[in-house]
Structure 1
Amino acid sequence: MYLLELYQNNYSKDLVVFETLEEGKDFVAQIPGYTQENEDGFEVEYVNPKQLPDYMEIVFNGNIVPLSRFSFEPEENVEIILKEISNLSVKNDKVIEGATKVDAYVVNNDEVKAYIEAREANFRKVKTFLESKGYEVDRSFFGSEDGEAILYRKKDAKDWHFLCHLDPIFVEFEDVEGYVEEAIEEMQ
């Protein structure tokens, strides 16, 4: 299933749901001012609200969907987002489609468990290694733009030092201890 979301200026309106992406595309193509462009390799779809009438109805499979230019700020385009959602009323024995936000990053649902397990295993390795060298370890910045990070300092020292973010690159580290040792040497 696909959910049609209209988005403008931090306002989001979940409008309708379609069984297929093609149905969603057929629907949005009927909206006056609808535009589809390719920006930096990504498909972008939007509606210019100035091209919407005061009131209109789009009839789709007998359903009447009202739209109005008065629903949107006139100076900024309205983004059209067709996002796949899983129908939990249909029996299925697999991870649902889509992605999950993990701190500041988005991970495909079928990779979330492995991602989190690897992230936390690498953090534990870093923490154990630093503590064995006489350092205190802290996790900070959860929810920030760049995501959670590891900070460290010598015991009884005043200043904390940044080591790295717990980001997708951190998850891929194979030689965690080697990375940490190199980073500490650079700080001294």
Structure 2
Amino acid sequence: MTTIDGRPRSLADYAGRPFVLQTGSSTCGPHVSTIVPMNAIAAAHPDVAFLVLYVREAHPGERRGPHRNLADKTGCARDLQREGERREILIDDLDGTLHRALGSMPNCTFVVDPSGIVEYLNIWTHPPAIRQFLDQGSAPDRGHKVSPPKPGPARRSLQRGGWLALWDQLKSAPALIRYHRRTRGKGVGSTP
């Protein structure tokens, strides 16, 4: 993986320091909706490294399709900076090697201790739960709510992809709703 300016990076580079790693892409409305609150949490915790792993596009379309090469993927990641992202952005390779190793979930967040142990996993990033874990050192109740996407960022993320991205989101909505109902209270936020 590389930084947005092309420098090679590995998660081992963050050993000895706690870090928060969130997966996301510019066509993922829920991810784009978390940028502002996650930046605020990062500002409140300067001792923790806050990272965004840029993965495949959640909802590719005719305007922004699947990434053709690393330069294309990096260009797409720059949209997060235009949305106000201040955390360090890491670009996964085209095969999604790290994303697949982490379970391929979109918009999930891992809190990792200085020795590299995942202390907390938030399957659908819910900034209040991340803040509570970092502030109190304990996981919130598993039944907490998932943050719904904010209309402005969600609309912009789908516009990046185009009409096909919107169609893709609409097609996947029923399965996503079923998934959330099935997992409610079962790992939305959990400690391994």
User: Please, what TM-score do these two structures have when normalized by structure 1?
Assistant: 0.25
| Structure with the bigger percentage of helix | 2
User: Please, what TM-score do these two structures have when normalized by structure 2?
Assistant: 0.25
| Structure with the bigger percentage of strand | 1
Q: Which has the higher contact order (CA 8 A, sep 6+)?
A: 2
